């Protein structure tokens, strides 16, 4: 385990801070239905934790759609925002953790595969924006997760060495990205989505295999303080 001090925390957004899985599935289904594609929950599992741009580009190429990736992404973002502004909820344990970290004056960032405009809108709508002076979308840095780019960019903006950052993630791609950035990682996979907790999740520094229902903010805070 990386034994360096923890001087900053970086959060994924969808599935980590907010319960957004159903909203994304509805948006994907509405986006692909006009092209004759019945997009199922099982099909969605392939893309959990990957950037939206990569997901739509893959679908456009796989099904030879008459639109390119950027056009499809714009369609998806518009649909998703409609669902998300009406239905996005913050996970209570994450809100409790953010308040503890803020009280401890821990620098915080969001690093997500979600498009920046959506991140900004939903951080405002959920009142989470006050916690995060740094917000970065993987679309702004090049390679999406599992590449470490978005986490490294967040660390640079926070002014904290990557080895002194802790990442909170729900997906295997996010866990891999954090490891490749040489950051500690807390994994909170959603058992509704993740059927196999073996492999990369078992390599997380702290794992909540039962998902958000298992999470206690005070427990995470006590774990972080071990490295303070």
Per-position pLDDT tens, the chain of length 228: 567 899 999 999 999 999 987 888 888 899 999 999 999 988 887 887 677 788 888 999 999 999 988 899 899 889 988 888 888 999 999 999 999 999 999 999 999 988 899 999 999 999 999 999 999 999 899 899 999 999 999 999 999 999 999 999 999 999 999 999 999 999 999 887 776 666 889 999 999 999 999 999 999 999 999 998
Do 170 and 122 lie in a common domain? yes
Do 67 and 48 lie in a common domain? yes
The answer as to whether 197 is a domain residue is yes
Do 96 and 125 lie in a common domain? yes
The answer as to whether 2 is a domain residue is no
Do 185 and 170 lie in a common domain? yes
Q: C-alpha distances in angstroms, 117 versus 93, 121, 122?
A: 25, 6, 9
Do 162 and 95 lie in a common domain? yes
In the chain, what is the greatest distance between 2 CA atoms, to the nearest angstrom? Answer: 53
Distance of CA 221 to the CA centre of its chain: 20
Do 101 and 79 lie in a common domain? no
The answer as to whether 3 is a domain residue is no
The answer as to whether 1 is a domain residue is no
Distance between CA atoms of residues 190 and 142, nearest Å? 27
Question: Last residue of some domain: 38, 63, 87?
Answer: 87
Question: Last residue of some domain: 87, 105, 132?
Answer: 87
Do 180 and 146 lie in a common domain? yes
Do 79 and 105 lie in a common domain? no
Cα radius of gyration (the chain) = 17
C-alpha angle 54/161/156, rounded to 5°? 50
The answer as to whether 137 is a domain residue is yes
The answer as to whether 205 is a domain residue is yes
Q: C-alpha distances in angstroms, 170 versus 74, 181, 193, 207?
A: 25, 16, 10, 10
- pLDDT score at 53: 82
Cβ atoms within 10 A of the Cβ of 122, count?
25
CATH of residue 155's domain is 3.40.50.1000
Query: How would you classify residue 210: left for phi > 0, otherwise alpha for psi between -120 and 50, otherwise beta?
Result: alpha
Distance between CA atoms of residues 201 and 167, nearest Å? 13
Do 46 and 157 lie in a common domain? no
The dihedral through the CA atoms of 109, 112, 115, 118 has a sign that is negative
Do 131 and 199 lie in a common domain? yes
Do 39 and 145 lie in a common domain? no
The answer as to whether 52 is a domain residue is yes
Number of domains in the chain: 2
- pLDDT score at 210: 92
- Domain hosting 58: range is 21-87
Rounded to two decimals, the pTM is: 0.86
Question: Last residue of some domain: 63, 87, 111?
Answer: 87
Task: Name which of 153, 210, 146 is nearest 173 in CA terms.
Answer: 146
Residues 68-126 pLDDT 10s = 888 998 998 899 888 888 889 999 999 999 999 999 999 999 999 888 999 999 999 99
Do 146 and 206 lie in a common domain? yes
């Amino acid at each position: 385990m990386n034994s360096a001090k923890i001087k900053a925390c970086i959060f994924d957004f969808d599935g980590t801070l907010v319960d957004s899985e159903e909203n994304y599935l509805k948006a994907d289904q509405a986006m692909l239905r006009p092209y004759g594609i019945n997009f199922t929950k099982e099909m969605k599992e392939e893309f959990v934790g990957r950037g939206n741009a990569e997901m739509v580009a893959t679908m456009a190429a796989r099904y030879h759609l008459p639109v390119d990736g950027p056009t499809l992404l714009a369609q998806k973002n518009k649909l998703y925002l409609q669902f998300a502004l009406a239905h996005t909820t913050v996970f209570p344990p994450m809100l409790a953790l953010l308040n503890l970290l803020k009280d401890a004056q821990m620098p915080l960032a969001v690093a997500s595969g979600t498009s920046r405009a959506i991140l900004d809108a939903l951080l405002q709508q959920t009142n989470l924006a006050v916690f995060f002076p740094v917000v970065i979308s993987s679309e702004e840095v090049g390679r999406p997760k599992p590449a470490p780019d978005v986490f490294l960019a967040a660390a640079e903006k926070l002014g904290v060495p990557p080895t002194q950052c802790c990442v909170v993630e729900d997906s295997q791609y996010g866990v891999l990205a954090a490891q490749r950035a040489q950051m500690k990682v807390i994994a909170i996979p959603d058992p509704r989505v993740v059927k196999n907790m073996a492999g990369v999740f078992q390599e997380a520094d702290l794992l909540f295999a039962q998902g958000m229902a298992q999470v206690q903010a005070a427990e995470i805070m006590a774990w972080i303080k071990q490295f303070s």
